[in-house]
Amino acid sequence: MRKYIKKKISIKKVRVGKNVKIYNPSNIYECEIGDNSIIGPFVEIQKGVKIGKDTKIQSHTFICEFVKIKNNVFIGHSVVFINDKFQKGGPAKGNKKLWKKTLINDNVSIGSNSTILPVSICSNVVIGAGSVVTKDINYSGVYAGNPAVKLKK
């Protein structure tokens, strides 16, 4: 006979704003989540991450350390943020000196299944589903592809 384990939210040392909704199951620790934000199920948000207000993060998303997300941001399903660029030919193996930061500014929408390397994305940007963002985005517009390129203003 199979045993079914009901998973619960794992929230440890999180600063949560007003009217925040976090759905089961999630793994969220040592981070900040701003007012009126929604975190879908099966999301992991790691230590030191800062998420602004009015942000929605869909299910199965992974947000690693060194990521800052400002206000009114939408992150689709299964988006992955990366802080280790394998600069020495392989994983940094916990050497945080090799990890890089990511900044997502206001009014950014990131489509499902996108991968975001350590970059800075300016305000008012749309990232198409399945995109891989490998370089900073300094101008508002619509970006998509692997690597992501600007499609239109």
Which pLDDT tens digit goes with each residue over 51-84? 999 999 999 999 999 999 999 999 999 999 999 8
Of residues 84 and 116, which shows the higher confidence score?
116
pLDDT at residue 86, rounded to an integer: 87
Separation CA 120–CA 133 (nearest Å): 10
- Please check whether residue 79 is in contact with residue 108, taking contact to mean a CB–CB distance below 8 angstroms: no
Taking Cα atoms as reference points, which of 22, 61, 25, 23 lies closest to residue 45?
Answer: 61
Q: pLDDT tens digits for 88-109?
A: 888 888 788 889 999 999 999 9
Rg (CA), the chain: 16
**Residue 135 to residue 121: CA distance in whole angstroms:** 9
* Per-residue pLDDT at 136 exceeds 80: yes
Domain definitions of the chain by residue range: 10-85+97-152
Cα 72 from Cα 13, distance rounded (Å):
23
**The pLDDT of residue 90:** 86
**Candidates 3.10.105.10, 2.160.10.10, 2.40.50.100, 3.40.50.300; correct CATH number of 10-85+97-152?**
2.160.10.10
Dihedral of the CA atoms 87, 81, 79, 21 (nearest 10)?
Answer: 170
- Amino acid 74: pLDDT: 98
**pLDDT for position 32:** 97
Q: Please name the amino acid found at residue 65.
A: E
Q: What are 2-37's pLDDT values in tens digits?
A: 555 455 568 889 999 999 999 989 999 999 999 999
Which residues fall within 8 angstroms of residue 67, CB to CB, at 6 or more apart?
A: 49, 50, 81, 83, 101, 102, 103, 104
pLDDT number for residue 2? 53
CA dist 52 → 5, 33, 150 (Å) = 33, 6, 25
Write the Ramachandran bin of 63: left for phi over 0, alpha for psi from -120 to 50, otherwise beta: beta
